Amino acid sequence: MTRRRTRTPAGALTGVLAVLGLLLTLLAASPALAAGYRYWSFWDGAGGRWAYATQGPSTARPADGATLGFRFSVSKDAAAEAAQPRAAADFEAVCGNTAPAEGRKRVALVIDFGVPEDAPAGETPPQGTPRTACAQLAPGATAAEALAEVAKPLRYNGAALLCGISGYPRTGCGEPIQDAEQPKPSAPAPASASASAAAASEDSSGGGPSAGLYLGVAAVLALGAAAVWQSRRRRR
């Protein structure tokens, strides 16, 4: 007595493979949608190394001897790819000639207006960048107050986002920049001023293929594997 072999319908398997091929094609061709943003980033220079600040200037309260940095640039990511100030996070270099005062704290500030390639249309960065200044403040003063002490006028939007320092830029505030508008990368910061920014969690709503597309590919792969397993089982 011979065992009857049942073959998996070729049309079903072919259809599964066709859908899989289509999804993989879409996955490969899906463009990255993440845009860059033109904005003032805020940095903490603790330990002589720049790290992306974990608070905004209006809430951060630097201690005596702190070094703060501000950099205007176009960056794709708020932390991992944001451009750092191009001067060293060196408190003594900025505040070494400012004598301590009773009941006051000294805060060093590095203000980097960026490069012309990052400037909004019709504007150019102020000359003499990066700039440094030493602010003497009350012990409870915020980073925003320290900045206002040395770099007025400041401009904020309704959400308290820092939009302009010393009048630059005149307009705009953290606007997205499409890929076609992205400037050419500027020269890297000097070794004395460079340090990896603190890694922030990646924005799950960023560019690239959607989660649904990945799930679709996974589902089709599962169907294909099931079809192959069923075919082998029936041939035994």
What pLDDT is recorded for position 78?
A: 60
What's the pLDDT at 21? 52
pLDDT at 200: 31
Write the CB contacts of 57 (distance below 8 Å, at least 6 apart in sequence).
42, 68, 142, 143, 144, 147, 162
150-166: average pLDDT: 95
Average pLDDT (10-19) is 52
Q: What share of the chain is helix, strand, coil (3-state, %, to 5)?
A: 30, 20, 50
102-106, 155-159, 222-226: range with lowest mean pLDDT: 222-226
pLDDT at 94 over 50: yes
pLDDT of 185 over the 50 cut: no
CA distances from 219 to 8, 16, 18, 162, 223 (A): 19, 10, 14, 45, 6
Are the CB atoms for 135 and 143 separated by under 8 Å?
no
Q: Is 71 a residue whose pLDDT tops 60?
A: yes
Average pLDDT over residues 12-39: 55
pLDDT for the residue 177? 86
Instruction: Extract the runs of DSSP E, i.e. beta strands, from the chain.
Output: 36-44, 51-52, 66-75, 105-112, 131-137, 154-156, 162-165, 176-177
